[in-house]
């Protein structure tokens, strides 16, 4: 099965929102939020989609500031989960961070999202704090961080 990883385009936004709603329900990003993110200062954002057979099956976004970065979003559609695509996207983001001279990468993850937490830990992310109600009332998030080595 062949795949393509490429920059997010405006034409992708409706598909991305549909995936968001399916995966994240009430906390899903809307079209305006995606548009705002990809329209930010050139070079301060990095957003990629993963296509299989011309269908978007996943995506990742990262914001950078100075020597730090934050994984803003990462998602893979349910039917394609547990095939290594999330790991591939995260690995690409960490390579991009290294290439940009980033030294620390942060992310937030729902405390009950055990598969994602295990993925992040497998890449060297460690929990550094908790954000209460980050995903809504009673829905906390771990803040995780990873050092990035030099290229």
Q: Judge whether 108 counts as a catalytic residue.
A: yes
CB atoms closer than 10 angstroms to residue 54: 6
Q: Which fold has domain 3-147?
A: Aminopeptidase (3.40.630)
What number of helices (H) and strands (E) belong to the chain?
A: 4, 7
Q: Which of 47, 59, 85, 120 is catalytic?
A: 120
Provide the whole-model pTM.
0.92
Residue 71: which of 25, 32, 119 has the closest Cα? 119
Q: How confident is the model at residue 151 (pLDDT cuts 50, 70, 90)?
A: very low
Q: Is the pLDDT of residue 149 over 80?
A: no
Q: What is the pLDDT of residues 7-46, one digit of tens each?
A: 999 999 999 999 999 998 888 999 999 999 988 877 899 9
CB atoms closer than 10 angstroms to residue 144: 22
Question: Of these residues, 108, 114, 121, 134, which one is catalytic?
Answer: 108
Q: Is 85 a catalytic residue?
A: no
């Amino acid at each position: 099965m062949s795949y393509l990883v490429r920059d997010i385009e405006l034409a992708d936004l409706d598909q991305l929102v549909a995936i968001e709603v399916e995966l994240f329900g009430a906390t899903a990003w809307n079209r305006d939020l995606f548009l705002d993110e990809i329209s930010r200062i050139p070079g301060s954002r990095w957003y990629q989609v993963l296509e299989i057979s011309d269908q978007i099956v996943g995506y990742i976004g990262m914001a950078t500031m100075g020597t730090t970065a934050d994984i803003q979003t990462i998602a893979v559609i349910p039917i394609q989960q547990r095939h290594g695509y999330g790991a591939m996207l995260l690995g690409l983001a960490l390579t991009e961070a290294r290439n940009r001279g980033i030294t620390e990468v942060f992310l937030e993850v729902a405390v009950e999202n055990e598969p994602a937490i295990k993925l992040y830990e497998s890449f060297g992310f460690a929990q550094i704090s908790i954000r209460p109600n980050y995903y809504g009332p009673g829905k906390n998030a771990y803040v995780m961080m990873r050092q990035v080595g030099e290229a």
